[in-house]
Structure 1
């Protein structure tokens, strides 16, 4: 197995390091920053540590490998695919691990398939420094089955989503609504709790409420319960916002939540369900679709 990398930043380095430990010896990479003085030493040290041969052109990478992992910033991914089209051939497996959005992934797939190659939209779903090559990966695109066959023998944890490029990344980006958004909520909550000197009370209370149930149970309970009591809960959040602003604490996350719950209130689900809360969160989401 010969594996190539286009871009040798942290993501490529962590993958290469883990694969090296699993015995994958033939690894080659190209990174334009290799010749930039402030990055050169770092890239060379990473390449040495992970047993990766650095080369001077993308052409050299594609000539020597069975598959190429393209690990470039999301805003560069489409342009890089256009530049690499001349290197792609019928034997090329092009694996894009960027966080470019699903529409961009579809455009990249078109470029690669037009050049005769197979495309994989690979969404890494965990921290690479922790998992390295075993990071959970969701994959979609016409090259996914080949990617799994090639790399599973080295312990890579790849789950096929579909043949449609962009669907794997869609799952990653939607997950980020929670994983990134919850950090904003935590910061706003903790800033307020600390200001009012009630952090232990608040954290203990939330722990008791949340820890006894699974994530899915808690999510379903909160969404369906709020569907029934949206008006009251939006008013309560208004009180929270007033309190935060009186203490000169940023309330942007609470304001956003209040706006969303107010839209939920306009659906009149309490009346639709005759005062009983919906059984499942999907009923609430379907109700939103009707109004869009």
Structure 2
């Protein structure tokens, strides 16, 4: 039984990982089109060889790829994702499935989905919920959109790990976006803290102080604690961070993330909910979040 023709628009780390995996699963006839800063027609011999080694073949235009592909995977840099998505929608054949794995905003993905639907195609808002370099082709994919049934039927048998977030494009992208607030934010905080620790000559000691408490509990427990105590202690913690800001500046660092942390804590305190929750005694993290949302509405 023949497999649908898969075309990749963009051929970075994620596309290469999936193409290599699909080729190993016996998928043939994959196509690639690139028009980025590094690789674009006329392609270099080295890039042609690399694409061939992944089991695919280069084409010289998006129109050529769209004319032949049953499934088009958009895998470009986020700065061009919306424009490329619109171009794919305009070129795709009726009935094509467009799989958008770019880290674009929910609204950008909804606009592309609408353009694809207008051409008689289906769309999947697919989001990599981890690093391809770590997970390989088993990277969890959190997805939504009109083409979910077809996407799962086609790619789950090839070993992709897919979670269905529903039929609406943008739903999955919203979760990915908010997850990125935490994951990229943690990265930035860790780098600011450990850069300062290095400047102070206490890198290993600071690393133990950071990792020890985190290793002793689950991350979900830590998040629950953060939310429940924020409503009570945000103002005091903001004042503490003012002192940390001064200390980091004394070490010669620009405390970008620490300044933002103090501002975020003051924003929580400004909601004026401390007395209400202090009087409750027991409450859940959901109760805090609901109260914050209501106060900010």
- Displacement after TM superposition at 1:97 (Å): 1.1
Cα distance 1:129–1:233, how it changes in 2: closer, same or farther (>3 A)? Answer: closer
1:20 aligns with 2:26: no
Consecutive unaligned residues in structure 2, runs of 5 or more:
none
2:162 corresponds, among 158, 161, 164, to 158
The TM-score normalised by the length of structure 2 is: 0.90
Specify the alignment match of 1:67 in structure 2: 71
The TM-score normalised by the length of structure 1 is: 0.91
1:89 aligns with 2:93: yes
1:219 aligns with 2:232: no
2:270 corresponds, among 261, 266, 272, to 266
Residue pair 1:228, 1:277 contacting (<8 A) in 2 also: no
Specify the alignment match of 1:8 in structure 2: 11
Q: Which has the higher contact order (CA 8 A, sep 6+)?
A: 1
Consecutive unaligned residues in structure 1, runs of 5 or more:
none
Counterpart-to-counterpart distance in 1, 2:160 and 2:66: 22
3-state SS of paired residue (2:91): coil
Q: Which aligned runs of 4 or more in structure 1 are off by greater than 4 angstroms?
A: 33-37, 275-278
Residue pair 1:224, 1:277 contacting (<8 A) in 2 also: no
Cα distance 1:278–1:20, how it changes in 2: closer, same or farther (>3 A)? Answer: farther
1:137 corresponds, among 138, 141, 145, to 141
The count of aligned residue pairs is 291
Counterpart-to-counterpart distance in 2, 1:99 and 1:31: 18
Counterpart-to-counterpart distance in 2, 1:86 and 1:265: 49
1:79 corresponds, among 74, 80, 83, to 83
- Displacement after TM superposition at 1:134 (Å): 2.2
1:187 aligns with 2:178: no
Q: 273-282 vs 129-138, which deviates more?
A: 273-282
Specify the alignment match of 2:244 in structure 1: 240
Residue pair 1:29, 1:54 contacting (<8 A) in 2 also: yes
Q: 242-251 vs 212-221, which deviates more?
A: 242-251
